[in-house]
A and B are shown apart, each in its own frame.
Chain A
């Protein structure tokens, strides 16, 4: 043990150093000298917008935009003051979005775009130090300056087949997409930062100012309309200033055409929300009321000097936009979703699961202590309750059963896996499932959070037509995922058996090892029921939607492979072809098949279930295969090197014979 101290210390130092990466510095000074007040951030979080086909809180939009562009849940930077003292800042997504709206100059200097290869910087002719760290961030300003080069390279690389692209080419394409995503976002509110100087006295009188902005035009829309009408459709006699204002108006209307919806539609039956440009067009054409208030409030929020004035204007914008939305503003749903993300019950469950796991591990050292057993079990149940509440909230927000996309499967499988293991522990209290349950729960929720950020797509986006069936989502999708959960749990138990054997924690004929195999067997039987029924139900659904029960689609094949593997395993056990070791190895292989079916087939780029490719997922999938193969190889080598219990008993006369059964 003493020999391990130094390496452990070095590892700990390395981990701490890696975690303590210095925040990138914000160059060029700060425009916002104070932090946003928490109250303002919370109020703005529940502003309702429409994006990607559904109404959602502004905070959710901000979060997924930040995941997409920045690849993290928060944005960190540091600022050096006059005395060379460095202060660190961390922005939540909503705070970051408020900066984009109100302090675009500062936001454009945030370290935003992650560059993982110095070749990208070299290609864009951005000064760099050869990338001493494993990644660096560049700002929008830097990317903007290299914009022409970036566009040219992206166009060239786009025409190269994906699998033939180099890492640098892939990164440049990714950067191009991120820069354009940010550009679209900041353009959405960019028009409020433009103004048109007017020298024409009539115009100055009409608008009451010498510089015309979106806000002044919106608040003086009647006067502006009067001026236009007076000049007639040809506007031949219009002053240069009026023409400039008209041109400005036309520019504002089309400036954010591909942005998200900020204002609810006013027409009967309309469902598509209006961008700022589209709402501004309605105001110019005669619409009045709360939309005008919202536009002028936003103008004040972007133009005001002090942060207090900005915050006041932002809150006025919030009130006006809610009033303008009228019946479109679903208070319950928006507040529920805002609460969901703020409370983040599944995230809280991770901590409790880890706590329960630690206690579960301690119970191995003091096996007779029932208090610890109950403590671990109780905390696991508590965390499972949190996770279940999280899933319930998701169902209420989306109006669908718990699984609608790949992200949901993580949380659902985590909940089912934990439940299954806890039930197993109740039936066979060996303290193995007791520790495994919270471990599985925490691990899968962490995977879910990693996937959420790397995929960067709103996990509650509306469903495509074929999936929009609550009956089939509740039956086939739920059933098959219970089958996945059981297969994974069986694989984890199998790995525990291998570890116990390899580490000599238990002799294969000992009670704990036998109990583990029995648990593995029971869970496999349980999983088989759901895997088979779920797979056939999927076929029945496909028969109703695509016109065939079975089409050898990769996702269908994955599910079939799980069923075939489990049925073959149980029959092999009946025939005596596999014993304990064979059973756990086979269960481990079924675990890999489950990962193949769960994730991998979605990335093959073929079939009706393909959801696109994500490099992050590829790493996760291959990591799972590698880890599982590692267990199986180590276990097999151990079995080959160490005689089987029966042979050991026969050869070792000093050891008492192992009782049959």
Chain B
């Protein structure tokens, strides 16, 4: 190696170090950033409950409402979670309940209780990218996507909405409904403030924004999330209320019995 080349490399390394220094001495490990984001966004507290209002708006402006109570409990096994969703509205789906056992690296198990048939039906979760209850959110958007399923790259660091952010590009390793995703991750709270999804034609087709970040039980939480389908003009706004962490929920209670008849304390 020539002297000159060596000098250049040293200079470049020094420059990179000084650039990285102010950012908490954080090593630019994009997968690590995404992992931290997942922790902050999907795994806070050992359990969680919120009343969720979903507003689905189509291109012509007409709206549909979904209201549900969502509960989550983290499993001892790293990454596993159980979700329980109980629907309050629209009227004809009241008492419908949805149970999901989530495993990061394999398909989740899902059950749905259909009150009119008094039937608990297992539902195949073939496609985690399919729409969640007709909204613009996919199942993945609600409960997280396996960090290892994508190749992550730190594109740049920039401010978004006045907050310093990492801009990460994630490209799915296998087949997916999108070709790549860009995320703006808040450096302080590690919450995603914005995500852009590009389709197979490499055109923007879905856009996520996380807003109204409030601290609840010491946990920064995005109380409002919007997913916009850019090409169709359809969008879904999710608003959280009555958020609570650390409820001391028991994982074994997330089962068929709860689907048919959820414990009163859950829906309070």
Are chains A and B native binding partners rather than an unrelated pairing?
Answer: no
Q: Which residues of B contact A (CB under 8 A)?
A: none
Residues of A within 8 A of B (CB): none
